[in-house]
Amino acid sequence: MELAEKVSQLPAATGVYLFKDALGKVIYVGKANSLRQRVRSYFAEGRWQDAKTGTLVREAADVETIVVDTENEALALENNLIKQHQPRFNVLLRDD
34: domain CATH number is 3.40.1440.10
The answer as to whether 91 is a domain residue is no
The answer as to whether 30 is a domain residue is yes
The pLDDT of residue 4 is 82
The answer as to whether 18 is a domain residue is yes
Buried b (16+ CB within 10 A) or exposed e, 71-91: eebbeebbbebbeebebbbbe
The pLDDT of residue 5 is 86
The pLDDT of residue 23 is 98
Residue-range definition of the domain harbouring residue 39: 3-85
The answer as to whether 93 is a domain residue is no
For residues 58 and 51, what is the distance between their CA atoms, to the nearest angstrom? 11
Number of domains in the chain: 1
pTM equals 0.89
The pLDDT of residue 93 is 44
The answer as to whether 62 is a domain residue is yes
C-alpha separations of 10 from 69, 70, 73 in Å: 16, 17, 19
CA 63-73-67 angle, 5° bins:
35
Report, as ranges of residue numbers, the positions in the chain whose pLDDT lies below 70: 1, 45-49, 92-96
Among 32, 36, 37, smallest CA distance to 16 is for: 32
